[in-house]
């Protein structure tokens, strides 16, 4: 049961695709203060609050305040209140049942979840459609929500293969070396990512003529080895006379404009740049059509970056800051004067005041960026997806984005941005997965091993042991860090084994992902959703993966294992080399589980089975005819398996196979 209430004049985000009429009467559950734009609801002692997608802190979001305003800031610590994405759906669950609430707004919103007052949830949002959802239980509420926002993006099956990335692969030779590194080490891989260095001076839709003289040839050589190249696309377009993307966009008015009607100039990688107005349907169509150059070279997947949008500076603010610095030149600066200089320079990047200075031409008229900020990454990704639909309608492309908002889940997946090589970020990766799924994002993953800072061999191994369960499984790191490829470390066997397990799990992961997309279910669920009356099921470091599994990664350095809580009897599966494993039924309760660095241990739920393939060197060599089933059942049990290459949208209808596994 869903009811919609409108406050102010919300911008049409197109997050919800079902037509839901406004409800009559006052909104229940929340006390509404129309002047303060607040929605307040009491929290009982036992209430837990789930959701908000990509955010800091716990699976249960209670006890902190969160801000929905997409932000490019790579230092992800507990004090943060917003990350790269905005996902305004939450569920409040307690002893008297649960309800869901979606605050559909393109602008800034705040969620104070028992932070100011421990017993109060207070949301602040100005122009917003609020959807209140009642249901039988949390899963039912989520399913209803997912139905109104439309089916989640399904990637091609190869996108579930392992991918290697790094900012700093400069040229074709670097890419070939990575492919060779994996091949020589006999480790599986399906994709290698191209970061900004493949472009000519960071110009979107160009390829550097010396570094990558023949991208098409490189892509086809790689494909022959089962490897896909996945280039990055940045949001901003370089200002440069003679650069066709800039010239066309300028001539047609396709860039965001300042109050003077001229393209608004910001600074990003290529220096002075302009922002494609992806909120204008014509501009969106035009920007998307540029992906063609790379598609024509045989590229089948992309990652969209810097689309919060991230701004190093705006031209106006930079010049003002440089003036202040120039005035200070040669003077003996007292502290106040010195602070004036550092603050002018230090507040250039991603300055919210700049968002107030440029505009979009949308179907409902001209709007200021500040009021629709959260929709930028969503619509940049939509631009690409809508073009793919025109380029080859039946083909599934890999597409994921850094910034997003609910609605974008229909067009692509996300990675969770610039994490760091910290153990705490391994755990944060786990905690974010359920909330991302609640908000429609199924194809998700974090930079495995950590993006910022130097990783360690054990951190990467432990992180991969979690990453083998996430649909997007990519090892990525930033410029200047130590080598992070799996073959760069000493314990080659351990890496080979863990990557191999990923490939054995792909038939299961793919099937679960597709079922969750089609049915509006969550692939990653907190234990509390399944075992609502068990207080211990509120654990924050174990989650369910699909219908059959519970995972409990090790996330502390030098730990020989960890404590695991079993809400019911479960079968412990300890993966050995390849698709070989040992199994042991453990009774409900607490257990200390030893997990060596080269092992993966997970649990199979009672009444369930798990299909396992033989490890393969890439997804195209996976043999789904030779699956074995791990089982914990006392009667014949059916498993719904999605088979096939997973390359075409039309193949889905005939790809569901019901397999009966004998007890």
Q: How far is the CB of 385 from ligand MIG (least distance, A)?
A: 20
Q: How far is the CB of 236 from ligand MIG (least distance, A)?
A: 11
Q: How far is the CB of 299 from ligand MIG (least distance, A)?
A: 17
Q: Which of residues 633-652 bind ligand MIG (CB under 6 A)?
A: none
For residue 410, state whether it binds ligand MIG (rule: CB under 6 A).
no
Nearer to ligand MIG by C-beta: 232 or 622?
232
Question: Distance from CA of residue 238 to its chain's centroid?
Answer: 26
Nearer to ligand MIG by C-beta: 71 or 139?
71
The answer to whether 161 and 619 are in contact (CB under 8 A) is yes
For residue 541, state whether it binds ligand MIG (rule: CB under 6 A).
no
Give dist(CA 556, CA 574) in Å, integer.
19
Nearer to ligand MIG by C-beta: 414 or 570?
414
For residue 402, state whether it binds ligand MIG (rule: CB under 6 A).
yes
Nearer to ligand MIG by C-beta: 306 or 506?
306
Q: How far is the CB of 396 from ligand MIG (least distance, A)?
A: 23
Backbone angles phi, psi at 344, to 5 degrees: -65, -40
Give dist(CA 547, CA 509) in Å, integer.
10
Q: How far is the CB of 401 from ligand MIG (least distance, A)?
A: 10
Q: How far is the CB of 317 from ligand MIG (least distance, A)?
A: 18
Q: Which of residues 458-517 bind ligand MIG (CB under 6 A)?
A: 476, 478
Q: How far is the CB of 244 from ligand MIG (least distance, A)?
A: 22
- Contact partners, residue 400, CB within 8 Å, separation at least 6: 303, 304, 381, 412, 413, 414, 415, 443, 472
The answer to whether 587 and 451 are in contact (CB under 8 A) is no
Q: How far is the CB of 303 from ligand MIG (least distance, A)?
A: 8
Tokens of 133: 């959802």
Binding-site string for ligand MIG from residue 425 to residue 464, where x marks contact by CB under 6 A and - marks none: ----------------------------------------
Q: What is the DSSP letter of 125?
A: E
Give dist(CA 565, CA 570) in Å, integer.
10
Q: Which of residues 23-82 bind ligand MIG (CB under 6 A)?
A: none
Q: Which of residues 270-309 bind ligand MIG (CB under 6 A)?
A: 305-306
Q: Which of residues 230-249 bind ligand MIG (CB under 6 A)?
A: 232
Which residue among 115, 167, 422, 629 contacts ligand MIG (CB under 6 A)?
167
The answer to whether 505 and 549 are in contact (CB under 8 A) is no
For residue 417, state whether it binds ligand MIG (rule: CB under 6 A).
yes
Of residues 399, 205, 230, 418, the one with CA closest to residue 308: 418
Q: Which of residues 250-269 bind ligand MIG (CB under 6 A)?
A: none
- Which residue minimizes CB distance to ligand MIG? 167
Which residue among 190, 300, 354, 418 contacts ligand MIG (CB under 6 A)?
418
CA distances (Å), origin 504, targets 137, 224, 497, 510, 522: 33, 22, 11, 11, 22
The answer to whether 381 and 372 are in contact (CB under 8 A) is no
Nearer to ligand MIG by C-beta: 196 or 218?
196
Tokens of 536: 């211990």
Three-state secondary structure call for residue 588: coil
CA triple 582-458-76, angle to 5 deg: 120
Q: Which of residues 174-233 bind ligand MIG (CB under 6 A)?
A: 195-196, 232
Please count the residues of this chain forming the interface with ligand MIG, following the rule CB under 6 A.
Answer: 11
Tokens of 84: 């790269």
- Contact partners, residue 581, CB within 8 Å, separation at least 6: 573, 574, 575, 612, 630
Binding-site string for ligand MIG from residue 506 to residue 535, where x marks contact by CB under 6 A and - marks none: ------------------------------
Q: How far is the CB of 195 from ligand MIG (least distance, A)?
A: 5
CA distances (Å), origin 319, targets 254, 268, 325, 353, 357: 25, 15, 10, 15, 15
Q: How far is the CB of 93 from ligand MIG (least distance, A)?
A: 33
Nearer to ligand MIG by C-beta: 428 or 509?
428
Q: How far is the CB of 200 from ligand MIG (least distance, A)?
A: 15
The answer to whether 373 and 54 are in contact (CB under 8 A) is no
Nearer to ligand MIG by C-beta: 306 or 466?
306
Nearer to ligand MIG by C-beta: 167 or 531?
167
Nearer to ligand MIG by C-beta: 107 or 236?
236
Q: How far is the CB of 314 from ligand MIG (least distance, A)?
A: 17
Provide DSSP, 386-445.
HHHHHHSTTB--EEEESSEETTGGGT-EEE----BS-HHHHHHHHHHHHHHHHTT--SEE
The number of beta carbons lying within 10 Å of the beta carbon of residue 389 is: 15
The site for ligand MIG (CB under 6 A) is made up of: 167, 195-196, 232, 305-306, 402, 417-418, 476, 478
């Amino acid at each position: 049961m869903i009811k919609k209430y409108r406050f102010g004049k919300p911008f049409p985000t197109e997050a919800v695709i079902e037509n839901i009429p406004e409800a009559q009467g006052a909104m229940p559950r929340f006390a509404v203060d129309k002047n303060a734009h607040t929605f307040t609801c009491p929290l009982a002692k036992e209430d837990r609050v789930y959701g908000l997608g990509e955010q800091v802190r716990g699976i249960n979001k209670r006890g902190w305040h969160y801000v929905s305003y997409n932000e490019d800031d790579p230092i992800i610590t507990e004090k943060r209140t917003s990350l790269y994405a905005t996902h305004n759906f939450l569920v409040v669950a307690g002893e008297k049942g649960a309800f869901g609430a979606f605050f559909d707004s393109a602008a800034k919103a705040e969620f104070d979840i028992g932070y100011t007052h421990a017993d109060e949830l207070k949301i602040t949002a100005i122009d917003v459609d609020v959807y209140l959802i009642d249901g039988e239980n949390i899963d039912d509420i989520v399913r209803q929500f997912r139905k109104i926002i439309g089916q989640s993006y399904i990637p091609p099956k190869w996108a579930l293969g392992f991918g290697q990335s790094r900012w700093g692969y400069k040229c074709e030779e670097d890419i070939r070396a990575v492919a060779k590194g994996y091949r020589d080490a006999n480790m599986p891989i399906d994709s290698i990512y191209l970061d900004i260095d493949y472009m000519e001076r960071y110009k979107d839709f160009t390829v550097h003529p010396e570094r990558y003289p023949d991208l098409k040839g490189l892509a086809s050589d790689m494909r022959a080895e089962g490897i896909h190249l996945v280039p990055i696309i940045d949001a901003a377009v370089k200002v440069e006379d003679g650069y066709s993307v800039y010239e066309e966009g300028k001539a047609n008015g396709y860039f965001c404009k300042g109050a003077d009607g001229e393209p608004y100039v910001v600074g990003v990688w290529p220096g002075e740049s302009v922002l494609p107005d992806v909120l204008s349907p014509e501009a969106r169509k035009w920007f998307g059509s540029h992906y063609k150059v790379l598609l024509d070279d045989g590229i089948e997947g992309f990652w969209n970056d810097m689309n919060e949008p991230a701004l190093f500076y705006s031209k106006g603010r930079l010049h003002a800051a440089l003036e202040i610095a120039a005035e200070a030149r040669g003077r003996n600066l007292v502290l106040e004067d010195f602070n004036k200089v550092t603050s002018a320079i230090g507040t250039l990047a991603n300055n919210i005041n700049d968002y107030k200075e440029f505009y979009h031409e949308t179907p409902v008229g001209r709007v200021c960026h500040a009021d629709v900020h959260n929709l930028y990454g969503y619509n940049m990704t939509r631009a690409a997806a809508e073009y793919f639909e025109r380029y080859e309608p039946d083909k599934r492309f890999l597409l994921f984005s850094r910034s997003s908002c609910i609605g974008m889940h229909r067009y692509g997946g996300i990675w969770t941005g610039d994490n760091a090589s910290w153990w705490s970020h391994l755990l944060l990766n786990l905690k974010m997965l359920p909330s991302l799924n609640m908000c429609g994002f199924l194809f998700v993953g974090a930079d495995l091993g950590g993006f910022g800072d130097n990783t360690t061999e054990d951190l990467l191994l432990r992180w991969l042991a979690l990453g083998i369960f996430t649909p997007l499984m990519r090892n990525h790191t930033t410029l200047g860090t130590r080598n992070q490829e799996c073959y760069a470390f000493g314990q080659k066997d351990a890496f080979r084994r863990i990557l191999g397990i990923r490939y054995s799990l792909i038939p299961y992961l793919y099937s679960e992902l597709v079922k969750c997309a089609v049915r509006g279910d969550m692939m990653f669920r907190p234990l509390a959703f399944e075992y609502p009356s068990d207080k211990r099921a509120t654990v924050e470091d174990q989650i369910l993966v699909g219908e059959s599994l519970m995972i409990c990664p090790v996330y502390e350095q030098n730990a020989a294992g960890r404590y695991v809580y079993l809400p019911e009897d479960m079968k412990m599966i300890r993966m050995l080399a390849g698709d070989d494993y040992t199994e042991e039924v453990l009774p409900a309760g607490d257990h200390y589980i030893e997990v060596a660095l080269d092992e993966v241990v997970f649990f199979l739920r009672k009444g369930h089975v798990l299909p396992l393939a033989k490890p393969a060197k890439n997804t195209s060599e996976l043999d789904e005819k030779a699956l074995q089933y791990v089982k914990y059942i006392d009667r014949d049990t059916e498993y719904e398996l999605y088979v096939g290459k997973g390359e075409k949208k039309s193949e889905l209808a005939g790809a569901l196979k019901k397999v009966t596994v004998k007890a």
